[in-house]
Amino acid sequence: MTSLTLKTNINRLLGEITIPGDKSISHRSVMFGSIAYGETRVTNFLPGDDCLSTISCFRKLGVTIEESDNELRIIGKGFEGLTEPDEVLDVGNSGTTIRLLMGILAGIPYFSSLVGDESIGKRPMTRVTIPLTKMGAKIDGRNNGAFTPLSIRGTRLSPINYQLPVASAQVKSALLLAGLQADGESTIIEPAETRDHTERMIRMFGGEIHKDNQMITVNGGQKLKAATIHVPGDISSAAFFLVAGAIIPESEVILKNVGLNPTRTGIIEVMKQMGADLQIVQKDDNSFEPFGDLIIKTSELKGTVVEGDLIPKLIDEIPIIALLATQAEGKTIIRDAEELKVKETNRIDSVVHELRKLGARIDATEDGMIIYGKSTLHGGTVSSQGDHRIGMMLAIAALLSDGEICLEKPEAISVSYPNFFTHLNSLIR
């Protein structure tokens, strides 16, 4: 087991950083470039472990993908240009890769096998395999297709009209990718709006998709055309520095090129309702994905309630919101977040367990957590538990600690933010 001694008891954070490319959009740029016709160019691609797993899988499916300095050149030949892989497709730690890839493979007339790491082996797949099977896909796996390894024999797909049982962008996207190959019109209904990168990407690649509130309709048989994609910075990565700038005394941090897709800005909404001194500047709404610069300063924070339709807009940011709440006056309640239990770890239990080690007053509930502020944090040994977002949250927590903190399994952070510690250290004064 590897470990890292974190920097603690920091005086202030000052400076600016450019946030690396959005993980969700980077994944999808590879996938859509691979199923479109022509040469797709991608700039500001995130070379994190998860996104590299996506590249590896599509290369095994016969797609030419060239990498150079966070830029990609992808030669797509449509869905029919994909070839049967002669080896297992390994998605690593990436839930996005495996779930969206299933939607593509379901309609490809080949046999494929999908595996991942230990964490992926525990994550539920029936939320994708059940509706894909209804469309005609032939999928099998451990526990009747509930868990990896999975095998898929692609086939001609029928359209589907499907109400999602959970608000999940991954499940929605898998069904939309399958719907693009189906014989007719498919309709997906969400219980609450989730991130819409897939819908935007379909339009960017020349496809048609219709949305009426939470009802999304797509026709099969569309031929997508290559595009040029600039990936904005990942707001889920920016969130760690937004919180750091708000809770470390005498700080001012500028975050450049942050994606501001309205289905992803829940972290900004929560921080503002808690009283954060946060500004959005130089916003660009004309790109296919809006982005802009953010300025965060040390803030006087108060507790709040995070719940309902806001949860899908910040599901990945809840670990760092929990830390933020430890430094706010009063009580913060997070509810309706059961989905955290089936992430890279059970993030409800992981966040509570690790923050308690540092002296935080925090309790787990069935669907979230209750945090009591303000807490003085002390030293100790903590673990990412193999979850990149838990690891980064603990590194930010250490900045406030009055004693040494040792982080076990820090390598998990490279899944989404390979340069995290370089960027963090550049701000420390």
Positions marked catalytic: 316
Residue of 148, 85, 142, 144 lying closest to 116 (CA atoms): 148
State how far the Cα of 99 lies from the Cα of 119, in Å rounded to an integer: 14
Residue of 239, 271, 173, 174 lying closest to 388 (CA atoms): 239
Task: Report yes or no: 242 and 296 within 8 Å, Cβ to Cβ.
Answer: yes
State how far the Cα of 60 lies from the Cα of 277, in Å rounded to an integer: 47
Task: Report yes or no: 65 and 73 within 8 Å, Cβ to Cβ.
Answer: yes
Which residues, 6 or more positions from 373, have their beta carbon under 8 angstroms from its beta carbon?
A: 301, 303, 325, 326, 327, 328, 329, 330, 331, 332, 361
Cα dihedral across residues 229, 344, 179, 259: positive or negative: negative
DSSP 213: T
Residue of 392, 381, 325 lying closest to 354 (CA atoms): 381
**Exposure letters 307-339 (e unless 16+ CB within 10 A, then b):** eeebbbbbbbbbbbbbbbbbbbeeebebbbbeb
